[in-house]
Amino acid sequence: MIGKVAKLIILIILVMTLIFFLTSCERVKPKNLMANNHFSRGNHHFADGLYRKAIEEYEQALNLNPDLSDIYRFLGESYKNLYRPGIDTQENLEKAEKALEALKKAYELFPNNKEVIYSLGDMYDKLRDFDEAEKLYLKILDMEPGNMDNYYVVAEFYKRYAGGSKEEEGEETGIKTPYEKAEEMYLRRIEADPENPQGYSYAARFYELLEPIPDFDKANFFHEKRIRLQPDSAEAWLSKGVNRWAKAYRLPKLAKEDRLEAAYDGLEALEKATELDPEYPEPYSWLSVIYQSVLAQLEPEKASRHKAEGEKNITKFQELRKREIERRRLEEELRKAE
């Protein structure tokens, strides 16, 4: 009985050895060695941004060895980098077709590779194929629900398809619009990690960049949420101050009382930032802007005082910025001397 088992083990070892030998022989075939050489040269060209040359090398490598599976992603990326969205020339459309073909092949070979999925999704995005791109971006989110950056990737994708601040299409059809889906992604990001101030910062930025009319108050809601988490952050108070200035300055049709309220709210936030970090230059710059571009205009009876405060703060900003530049210069010199 033991003899039979030993013979079986020896047979398995011999079979495995033969497979390894045949595989090794396959690798050292002259054609495969040449293919690997072309692949390597293609990667050097790709790293240097020489995509046409990279394509030549990659295609030669595949002609010699079609089983070089890793090559398809880089071939697709090379064609994608040469493709120019929105230009409908035959040559440009061929680049798109070849990029898509290679990236789909890479996805077929590596269906769970995040870089491949993202690259193919990005190609569909460039072709404005919303449905196919969405599937791939959401797959990344499903694969790594704990990776907070993925929520921003998906949200930014949706933002590119949002036509305006708030679309009515979703209300009529019951289907969420890209705007609503983007909003949902930022909120899901916050829900996934509610104690991380970055989530609130990104959500605020989303509402501040809405077109054609930003939602400054909703953005301010998230700035205040961030401040509750980081009450001693001068940067957090600065963000709120800039938001309030933007509401007062960029919405001129707003009632004067509402604009003044926003401006003074911003003033208070910026002064809090300077109190927390007196050496932080940016709050002084925005204090100058609020005084001169908003308060001096809305309160003409106090214009001279507001302008004087604006000048004082811009001078302070320039002094601190000059000091900061000098400090960085000295630090750079010290690093070079080490």
Domain with 297 in it: 259-338
pLDDT for the residue 4: 52
Measured between alpha carbons, how far is 152 from 158 in angstroms, rounded to an integer?
10
pLDDT tens profile 243-264: 999 999 999 899 999 999 999 9
Evaluate whether residue 215 is within a structural domain: no
Measured between alpha carbons, how far is 219 from 166 in angstroms, rounded to an integer?
15
Evaluate whether residue 137 is within a structural domain: no
pLDDT tens profile 151-210: 999 998 998 887 644 554 445 556 889 999 999 999 999 998 999 999 999 999 999 998
Write out the H or E segment, with its range, that includes residue 9. Answer: helix 2-27
What is the CA angle 33-39-45, rounded to 5?
140
Evaluate whether residue 179 is within a structural domain: no
Give the total number of structural domains in the chain. Answer: 1
pLDDT tens profile 10-31: 444 434 443 443 444 444 467 7
Evaluate whether residue 134 is within a structural domain: no
Evaluate whether residue 338 is within a structural domain: yes
Evaluate whether residue 167 is within a structural domain: no
Measured between alpha carbons, how far is 5 from 288 in angstroms, rounded to an integer?
88
Predicted TM-score (pTM) above 0.85? no
Evaluate whether residue 313 is within a structural domain: yes
Average pLDDT, rounded, for the chain: 88
Evaluate whether residue 326 is within a structural domain: yes
Write out the H or E segment, with its range, that includes residue 168. Answer: none
User: Distances from the Cα of 194 to the Cαs of 222, 224, 232, 334, in angstroms?
Assistant: 12, 14, 18, 40
pLDDT tens profile 259-287: 999 999 999 999 999 999 999 999 999 99
